[in-house]
Amino acid sequence: MSGLDIAEAYLNSLLTSERASGEELDAYQSRLLQRLAKHAFEETPFYAARRVAPEGLSANSDFWLAQPYISRRDITENFDAFRPRSFSKLHGVITPLTTGGSTGPAARRDITSLEAVGRLLASYRMYHSWGLDQSRPLFVFRKLRQDQPRQEIWGFPWRDPAERGERLWIDIATPAREQLEQMAGRGPVYVNTLPSNILRLSCEALRTGTKLSIPFIVSVGEYLAPEVREAAASAFGSTIIDAFSSAEGGVMAVQCPGSGIYHIQSEQLVLEIVKTDGARAKPGETGEVVVTPLYGYATPLLRYRSGDFVVAGPACGCGRVLPAIASIAGRREHMFTRPGEAPELPKIDRFRLMQTIGHDEWLLAQLSEDDMEFRYAGSLTASQEQAIGEHLHAVLGGRLRSRFTNVEALPLTSGGKRHFTLNAGVLPPA
């Protein structure tokens, strides 16, 4: 069997497992979890003191629930302790990944070939379930890195290359006008990018009257606000497929074409949604995502606290048994806090603010319980300031005093992200 045959067989197995029974899916996941835990406990110094996992370990067992969480700090301060002394050649070679850095120190996390293939296959399942036309051009607007291997066509690699669409890689910091120019004249195209770039592209297209057809946009890496979804629909006729993903966890959950809720990729990871009291969130309740990537043999992360908050989902009616996330609530450091209230993302309208200001170099920061600061680059007229102030007053209920602070520049993060809100009183996640 060639590598391509194996990849195709794996996709077919994922299309079967997502419609298996809940018991079958649990058994599948448990086998992988058992192997990963054994590997981590036996081969890595970080977990060496842990008691050996019992046979039949599952993500709902008392043994698993008693395992302590790990955090980004554990990895940044103690990376070498996560490196396994050995692992099976079946996992292939190790490649380092640098994660984040925008909200704390950059962390390293290694990935094996097998885990990288697993992540790809989660994308292939998404292409399949959304019925994407794999002959169309796909524009990938991301932070490009020198050492990154780049495929110039996309779609299932076992298909005839002549039937697969071109994949064009463009750095996310490219001005929106130039991004739009690159896509022009090709008929309908697909896009894969971050929500902040979807916002920039949509605003620029609407401002200049640029007509482009982008039937599907895959959104990754940041919180996707509802108004950004609407802006892309209005600018390009786009449907956005939101993939809940991170460098540490990979593709963790993908929107369902039937219901729009997010299916957890349970064949590849254990995703727990944990409330502040430590209990698992029930449908409709919000909690922090604690993730265990099941093929993470190079840097085993058992119960990694992600800093991402989500609302636990109901069972989906589409026939897939994969558990669901109802919606993404945001990252902790972007949420505003008030005594006695659960932290939440301020419900600012990014599209409206961007249209008012004319660019996206701005940030709303909560400095303390009652104070917030609107930081912006460039200049604002009195009427712009007034419009922004009125919007903030309307959405934040006038609870917070606001001030405007001009800053020299607000560059994108090292990963090409744009954060529009910040809880400046909150430390980066531990």
Instruction: Write down the least CB distance from residue 220 to Zn ion, Å.
Output: 19
Q: CB of 4 within 8 A of CB of 264?
A: no
Instruction: Write down the least CB distance from residue 284 to Zn ion, Å.
Output: 17
Provide DSSP, 320-335: --S-EEEEEEEEGGG-
# chain residues binding Zn ion, by CB under 5 A: 6
The pattern of x and - marking residues 259 through 288 that bind Zn ion according to CB under 5 A reads x-----------------------------
Rounded Cα gap, residues 409 and 403, in angstroms: 17
- Judged by CB under 5 A, which of 94, 318, 365, 377 binds Zn ion? 318
Separation in Å, CA 219 to CA 32, 193, 266, 412: 28, 5, 20, 17
Beta bridge partners of 289: 273
Only one of the segments 18-26, 244-252, 270-278, 313-321 lies at the binding site for Zn ion (rule: CB under 5 A); that segment is 313-321
Q: CB of 43 within 8 A of CB of 86?
A: yes
Give me the half-sphere count of Cα atoms (radius 13 Å) on the Cβ side of residue 396.
Answer: 29
247 binds Zn ion (CB under 5 A): no
Rounded Cα gap, residues 368 and 400, in angstroms: 9
Only one of the segments 23-31, 38-46, 254-262, 375-383 lies at the binding site for Zn ion (rule: CB under 5 A); that segment is 254-262
List CB contacts of 335: < 8 A, sequence separation 6 or more.
Answer: 309, 329, 343, 344, 345, 346, 421, 423, 426
Rounded Cα gap, residues 140 and 130, in angstroms: 18
Instruction: Write down the least CB distance from residue 269 to Zn ion, Å.
Output: 18
User: 3-state class of 351 per DSSP?
Assistant: helix
Interaction residues for Zn ion, span 115-174 (CB under 5 A): none
Nearest residue (CB) to Zn ion, 237 versus 258: 258
65 binds Zn ion (CB under 5 A): no
Residue 384: CB atoms within 10 Å: 16
Instruction: Name the residue among 176, 326, 170 with its Cα closest to residue 236.
Output: 176
256 binds Zn ion (CB under 5 A): yes
Instruction: Write down the least CB distance from residue 318 to Zn ion, Å.
Output: 3
Only one of the segments 116-124, 238-246, 273-281, 315-323 lies at the binding site for Zn ion (rule: CB under 5 A); that segment is 315-323
Only one of the segments 41-49, 218-226, 312-320, 331-339 lies at the binding site for Zn ion (rule: CB under 5 A); that segment is 312-320
241 binds Zn ion (CB under 5 A): no
Nearest residue (CB) to Zn ion, 326 versus 422: 326
316 binds Zn ion (CB under 5 A): yes
Only one of the segments 183-191, 229-237, 314-322, 415-423 lies at the binding site for Zn ion (rule: CB under 5 A); that segment is 314-322
Q: Which stretches of the chain bind Zn ion, using CB under 5 A?
A: 256, 258-259, 316, 318, 320
